[in-house]
Amino acid sequence: MHLDMTLVLFLSFIAITLGITAWASRRSGSSASFFAANRSITAWQNGVAVAGDYMSAASFLGIAGLIAFFGYDGFLYSVGWLVAYLTVLLVVAEPLRNAGKYTMADVLAYRLNPRPVRAMASISTLTVSTFYMIAQMIGAGSLVALLLKGSHISFTVAVSGVGILMIVYVVFGGMLATTWVQIIKAVLLIAGTVLLSILVLAHFHFSFPEFFQAISQVTYHAPDGKVIVKDFMTPGLRFKLPYGPLELISLGMALILGTAGLPHILVRFYTVPDAKTARYSVVWAMIIIGSFYIMTTFLGFGAATIVGRDFIAKNGGTNMSAPLLAKVIAGDVFFAFISAIAFATILAVVAGLTISASTSFAHDFWTNVLHNGVERKPGEERTVARIAAFVVGAVSIGIAILLGPTANVAFLVALAFAVAASANLPVIVLSIYWKRFNTAGAVCGLLFGLLGSIILILIGPSIMGMDAATVVGAARHPIQHAPIFPLENPGILSIPIGFAGALLGTFLGARDPNAVQRFEELEVRANTGLGSEKATAH
């Protein structure tokens, strides 16, 4: 029964969003409209859309699951995800809005030699977006596989469906449609989370002491059948010595510095009319994102106390904690509602990633690197972006199907954050704030950060490890050797490597009087909005 209900709810979301896409496609007459929604999005709309872009499957399904299984340590993820927005607010959002046009690379190209810088930035953007996207698509596929167990809809069909829909949103609706898909999804996600939280509290007779009392005595069974009672408020259930504390700090660094380097978040600030609106939209996003992550207390600990680890482990594993909580607490209809929201979440995030990746390819690589910044015929950039969206979508569908439903999704998202923090953030910050910074510095920074983070992940415990012979399939480490780098998250080392690369390149490269002169222009522009891209009437 819940199957039909989920399908009906999910199909209505698709119908509504396709309607929006049709509406947006009639208004997407110009490049500013296709890439930046005419810069006409208001502060609260963009705030909700940023929140929508950010609260992905990793948050709704992943964090709830981590808290359900590891208690307090899972909640630590929630904290970093919000605090990261202070970096966006204080350091990046406004200068970026004032100095750029469509992509993150615009800011770098403003004062540096545009071609090498845009080429590297485009590679980095595509890398971050693709890893992030594959993770989301695998999430969608596994969700479908678990929900529709025994039905004729397989993992492959589910992944392909999500991929095709997102291509349709982006190719026909551009940034305007993607923004509204994001807004609707964020509202649904918050509504579902609030409802679920109230139901959890109701279960404990709206008594916080009773709720926290239950959290302090979570009962489950060890693999050998022994009964375990644990205080889930206690830290250390997941991050254990010797490397646990370093792992936590490394994760924190990747989050705090990575968010301000995520291309699909940064492009959102080009959709608003000016820097002031960009600022207010970050604050709106922080209110929504913060409220959501505080409520993961109820989702996660609720699942731990009401549903229990044993039941979740037997019915789809950590990622199914929130949907299972809905099922146990309020029955099949609510379960269908929450599952449909999870689909919508994934679909919207994937659309946001696709548009930022394809915009970067079209604007940075095609127009500015290959064709010297000139569109050979009007609308060429848009056409290239549409084709790129199609290719990016097809490639992600292919890789996601290849990796299969059991691939380690969390590690792909962590890789995206780590690459963003190590490659993108150093060069963005240094080009906005450091006068001496030059082209060699930017290229080295991007290269070192990109390679550093990827290599450290490849030689870390996500990829390398010794498994017992009983471990088979996707759970086995691809390289059967003790890990060379002990941490899953490379941030603590790869972020300094990114900064070091940028400094090294700058000092080894020649002094660039032009970059210094253009820095002074950039400083004026970033701080006053003089000459920034204006909103267009539509």
Binding site for other proteins (CB under 8 A): 72, 75-76, 78-80, 82-83, 85-87, 89-91, 100-101, 106, 109-111, 114, 208-209, 212-213, 215-216, 231, 233-236, 239, 244-246, 248-249, 251-252, 256, 276, 279-280, 282-283, 286-287, 290, 293-294, 518, 520-521, 523-525, 527-531, 534
Six token digits for residue 409 = 């999704």
* DSSP, residue by residue, 242-254: TTHHHHHHHHHHH
Q: What sign results for the dihedral spanned by CA atoms 117, 122, 125, 126?
A: negative
CB atoms within 10 A of CB 219: 14
CB of 249 to other proteins, least distance (A): 5
Name which of 251 and 416 has its Cβ closer to other proteins. 251
**241 half-sphere exposure, CB direction, 13 A CA radius:** 0
CB of 383 to other proteins, least distance (A): 20
CB of 307 to other proteins, least distance (A): 19
CB of 279 to other proteins, least distance (A): 6
CB atoms within 10 A of CB 481: 11
CB of 194 to other proteins, least distance (A): 16
Six token digits for residue 39 = 């810069």
With contact defined as beta carbons under 8 Å apart, do 290 and 31 qualify? no
Dihedral-angle region of residue 368 (phi above 0 means left; psi in -120 to 50 means alpha; beta otherwise): alpha
Bridge partners of 396?
Answer: none
CB of 24 to other proteins, least distance (A): 25
CB of 225 to other proteins, least distance (A): 27
Q: Where are the beta strands (DSSP E) in 226-297?
A: 227-230
Name which of 114 and 352 has its Cβ closer to other proteins. 114
Closest CA to 321 of 332, 310, 515: 310
CA separation for the pair 259, 59 (Å, rounded):
14
**Cβ within 8 Å of residue 157, ≥6 positions away:** 144
Name which of 125 and 367 has its Cβ closer to other proteins. 367
CA separation for the pair 310, 322 (Å, rounded):
15
Residue type, 409: V
CB of 253 to other proteins, least distance (A): 8
CB of 72 to other proteins, least distance (A): 6
Measured CA distances, 458 to 98, 337, 489 (Å): 37, 38, 11
Name which of 117 and 143 has its Cβ closer to other proteins. 117
CA separation for the pair 35, 381 (Å, rounded):
10
CB of 110 to other proteins, least distance (A): 4
Name which of 260 and 397 has its Cβ closer to other proteins. 260
The set of long-range contacts for 11-14, using a CB threshold of 8 Å and a minimum separation of 24, is: 13/184, 13/188, 13/340, 13/343, 13/344, 13/347, 14/165
Six token digits for residue 494 = 């790869």
Name which of 91 and 459 has its Cβ closer to other proteins. 91
Please state the length of the chain.
538
Measured CA distances, 341 to 5, 9, 169, 184, 192 (Å): 12, 9, 18, 10, 7
Six token digits for residue 7 = 């399908």
Bridge partners of 479?
Answer: 464
Name which of 125 and 136 has its Cβ closer to other proteins. 125
Name which of 332 and 523 has its Cβ closer to other proteins. 523
Name which of 40 and 136 has its Cβ closer to other proteins. 40
Name which of 251 and 355 has its Cβ closer to other proteins. 251
Name which of 251 and 403 has its Cβ closer to other proteins. 251
CB of 46 to other proteins, least distance (A): 15
Six token digits for residue 148 = 């529709």
